[in-house]
A = this chain, B = another copy of it.
Amino acid sequence: MMVRLIEYDEATAEVRAVYDDIMRTRGTDWINNFWKALANDPPTLRRTWESIKEVMAPGALDPLTKELIYLAVSASNGCAYCIASHGAAAKKAGMTAEMLGELMAIVGMANETNSLANGYRVPVDERFEKLF
């Protein structure tokens, strides 16, 4: 760790307000290390939490699909912390062991074909331009 983890008891009112909102929104009674690290820079703690809350709220995509996407990107990036925390969040949202196995297989294939497409410098097909 580069910085101390800020526990609730030692946190400022500004930080506690974010911690309270995290626990209320998630229906839990504890704060995971990521937020305790960000609390060293309160504006980043607040902004990051507000953004996550907005982005992960149900919308055109349901909560499980959103968590699967978050987990897949984190696995692809090799972020151990994010894999662990979003793995737990995805499971809570309904991810089964079978879904995890299929998700990881896709992450693996995507990384394989991404490197092949980039490596061969394959030009984008005309028909694939302009999606929406």
Contacts and interface: CB of A to CB of B under 8 A. Distances in A.
Nearest to A43: B54
Copies in the complex: 6
Contacts of A43: 54, 105
Nearest to A41: B101
Interface string A90-122: 010000111111111111111111111111111
A4 B97 CA distance: 11
Contact of A73 (B98, B107, B127): B107
B106 A56 contact: yes
Interface string A52-95: 10111001110001101110111111111111111110010000
A80 B113 contact: no
Given A2-B83, A88-B127, A119-B75, A34 B111 contact: no
11 contacts: A2-B87, A2-B120, A40-B97, A40-B101, A48-B113, A60-B98, A61-B103, A78-B114, A80-B121, A84-B125, A88-B127
